[in-house]
Structure 1
Amino acid sequence: MTAPFDRAHTDDLMGYLTASPSPYHAVANAAERLEKSGFRRVSETAAWDGTPGGRYVQRGGALIAWFVPESATPATGFRIIGAHTDSPNLRVKPVPDTGRAGWKQIAVEIYGGTLLNTWLDRDLGVSGRLALRNGEAALVNADRPLLRVPQLAVHLDRGVNEGLKLDRQQHMTPIWGIGTPREGELVEFLAAEAGVAPGDVLGFDLMAHSVEPPAYLGRDRELVAGPRMDNLLSVHAATAALTAAAAAGDLGHIPVLAAFDHEENGSTSDTGAHGPLLGRVLQRSVAARGGDYEDRARALAGSFCLSSDTGHAVHPNYAERHDPTHRPMAGGGPILKTNVNQRYATDGTGRAVFAAACERAGVPWQTFVSNNAVPCGTTIGPITAARHGIATVDIGVAILSMHSARELCAATDPFHLANAMTAFLLP
């Protein structure tokens, strides 16, 4: 029997998307939810204890959280949900203040596999973090119309409807004012927004974001449109699942949330899935409970990971781009993503684990396989499997407009994903 749809979960997701315009905000908001559920932050430079309870490590745009049950031994295995906090967008260059022809502009660099045209003629805010003189960082979120990448009028490009070609350097620089650009103007503005002195800002990691809030679509409000669903939808669901598992009490394993940064550009960073962060956290968790190398090896061998990211729903206008026998539909529940060339980490054993979790949760599920003529994407799943030797399965929610500034999914699917994740983490 399928679990009834609770719109409150999707309402909460929409609030989380709005409040999380950057990976740093996404992590801060997830950490706040964990704190309210009794988790406490631990420093990577401090000694850790092995007492039961919830803990998390926060580094930049990444967060690793875990709950140690009363019955955990040094060799207790982990049940991990992996996701990522970053989304394709426009990121501010180190010397941002530029312009010409009487316009003030902000220099940006293209981050990830962005659908460039979706950023045209859209009201944009600026968010991210400011690195301060004292070694701390201040989050900043100017969540109102500040920037705009104006498209060339059709009168000056008569062939635009036969094929839009955008030069990343020439055509994607947003405007934000009139006049002569002045060095330091953007930093001064954002420092005031963050309540810090401009002279204390020695660095920054900033990006543009669409200020249009998420919204229900359709006559029956059965669709949701919003920014950064790839992949904050998974981070939000996994946070809810972890807190639910922690509230359930004693478990036969240690539930973990691993929310990485930089998935959209290859995961190779100190906060990406290719980095050592997850492995160190798992190793230190074992050691804090008195474990040695043997215990760690046993714990990892007995672990399992759900790598959760968005996937492709069948596009009604391009149905031929999809595999004819695997047709993920919006509203059909979470998708299991497979690829025999290990672009996804799923195998038959993983499929069984995921299917059993969905069955326990009363959640429908479906399968995604790429059309053989269309190159397959990838996720953090194969990285996690190869780097840590942990059995992994790739899952997610079927969406349209992936990598757009504004994506689309069924209103029911985030709720079903969270339920499936919770069942995976519970005994």
Structure 2
Amino acid sequence: MTTQIDELMTFLSGSITPFHAVEVMAKTLQRAGFEQLDQFDAVRMTPGKGYFVVHQGSSLMAVRAGHSGVEAGLRLVGAHTDSPNLSVKPNPVKGRDGCIQLGVDVYGGALLNPWFDRDLGMAGRLSMLTPDNALRTTLFDTGRAVAVIPSLAIHLDREANTQRSINRQKDVVPLVMLGEHEQYDLKAWLAQELARVDSQWQGARVMDYELSLYDTQPPNQIGIDGDFIASARLDNLLSCFAGMRALIDADDAEWSLFVATDHEEVGSASTVGAQGPMLMDALAALAPDPKLNRMMRAQSWMMSVDNAHATHPNYADRHDDQHSPRLGDGPVIKINRNQ
């Protein structure tokens, strides 16, 4: 168990954005003997071997080819790579009273209070123009705290502990440095920061970015007996880790498929989201013959794996008395009568 927890902690630490999570999973799968493909192709697959594809850098699908035919069905596990965060706006630089700030969008179902007074790093993906006019993308991580959202002092808001409300546009504006914002060029700073840690990017320009802020506090086991894991992005990196490990450890009697999609927090309606064509295209590639494909889907089953809300001891009344998940009591099976 200790080894699994250590592996999970390492996975969480490295997966600070969906792009980083996919990179970590891809490297883990490669170390386990999986081969990366541009797209699934049943003709190229050898029974017993593993394969994976990456979609737009933020979604991943991996399969272990079984010795049974695909018409016997697939064992599928689905999870999502994204988590609630603060995404940097396209034109974010603002300032007031000698402070430079960045405008951010609240992505997904974020609980905003915990974002205040945290040491925030910045990470994501950059689109670069190299000195020889080639367009390339690369992952980016400050690796250190570069922003903070300071709370207003209690002396200036005596009702903060009883009547506090948060205005996303006004209150959730990270502070990044002192100075005049008109003179600050975020893209120039990003290019400088990237070149500082990787000399291959010397002279390259940032053309665009997909960046978000993250808490630099590393994952940790807490509690007198270490019963709890405290970490950002457990929703849903915990399921990504479990699904990936399950596939690596799966036998090869049957076909097994792991799907980690992006954009679940905002509805999944994208080309790399669960409602996009990615999964159905993969199933068509695994069984191109229409009759075989219908047989395969009819015999397959899928688990959609996500986090569940355990009963909070301070707010036990928020749960149904007859359906109150307890921490440490094992997996939760969710049922939605409206689907």
TM-score, structure 2 as length reference: 0.92
Report the counterpart of residue 283 of structure 2 in structure 1.
Answer: 282
> 1:126 touches 1:142 (CA, 8 Å); kept in 2?
yes
How much is the aligned-residue C-alpha RMSD, in angstroms? Answer: 1.8
The C-alpha deviation readout for 1:156-192, integer Å capped at 9, x for no partner, is 1111111211111111010010001256633233333
Cα distance in 2 between the residues matched to 1:81 and 1:222: 27
Gaps of 5+ in 1: 1-5, 343-427
- What is the Cα deviation at residue 47 of structure 1? 9.9
The partner residue of 1:39 within 26, 34, 37 is 34
- What is the Cα deviation at residue 74 of structure 1? 4.5
Please give the secondary structure, in 1, of the residue aligned with 2:144.
strand
The C-alpha deviation readout for 1:113-154, integer Å capped at 9, x for no partner, is 111111001000001001233343200111211100111111
Report the counterpart of residue 187 of structure 1 in structure 2.
Answer: 187
Cα distance in 2 between the residues matched to 1:150 and 1:198: 35
The C-alpha deviation readout for 1:53-96, integer Å capped at 9, x for no partner, is 21111012100110112x24242311111000100010001112
What amino acid maps onto 2:52 in structure 1?
Y
After alignment, is 298-307 or 95-104 more displaced?
A: 95-104
Report the counterpart of residue 271 of structure 2 in structure 1.
Answer: 270
Identity of aligned residues (%): 40
What amino acid maps onto 1:335 in structure 2?
V
* Structure 1 stretches of at least 4 aligned residues deviating more than 4 Å after TM superposition: 45-48
> 2:21 touches 2:81 (CA, 8 Å); kept in 1?
yes
Determine if the alignment matches structure 1 residue 204 to structure 2 residue 209.
yes
What amino acid maps onto 1:212 in structure 2?
Q
Please give the secondary structure, in 2, of the residue aligned with 1:336.
coil
Determine if the alignment matches structure 1 residue 18 to structure 2 residue 13.
yes
> 1:187 touches 1:198 (CA, 8 Å); kept in 2?
no
The C-alpha deviation readout for 1:12-62, integer Å capped at 9, x for no partner, is 111111111000000100111100111111114999624332111101210
Report the counterpart of residue 7 of structure 1 in structure 2.
Answer: 2
> 2:77 touches 2:305 (CA, 8 Å); kept in 1?
yes
> 1:261 touches 1:272 (CA, 8 Å); kept in 2?
yes
Report the counterpart of residue 145 of structure 2 in structure 1.
Answer: 145
Determine if the alignment matches structure 1 residue 297 to structure 2 residue 294.
yes
Report the counterpart of residue 318 of structure 2 in structure 1.
Answer: 321
Report the counterpart of residue 403 of structure 1 in structure 2.
Answer: none
Cα distance in 2 between the residues matched to 1:184 and 1:282: 48
Cα distance in 1 between the residues matched to 2:260 and 2:150: 34
Cα distance in 2 between the residues matched to 1:45 and 1:332: 38
Determine if the alignment matches structure 1 residue 169 to structure 2 residue 169.
yes
Please give the secondary structure, in 2, of the residue aligned with 1:140.
strand
What amino acid maps onto 2:303 in structure 1?
L
Alignment of 1:11-410 (within 5 A): 11-44=6-39, 49-52=44-47, 53-59=49-55, 60-69=57-66, 71-133=67-129, 134-182=134-182, 185-194=185-194, 195=198, 196-197=201-202, 199-245=204-250, 248=251, 250-251=252-253, 253-287=254-288, 292-342=289-339
Cα distance in 1 between the residues matched to 2:282 and 2:58: 16
Query: Structure 1 residues 302 and 106, CA, compared in 2 at 3 Å: closer, same or farther?
Result: same
More relative contact order in 1 or in 2 (CA 8 Å, sep 6+)?
2
Cα distance in 1 between the residues matched to 2:168 and 2:202: 33
> 1:79 touches 1:303 (CA, 8 Å); kept in 2?
yes
Give the paired residue count: 328
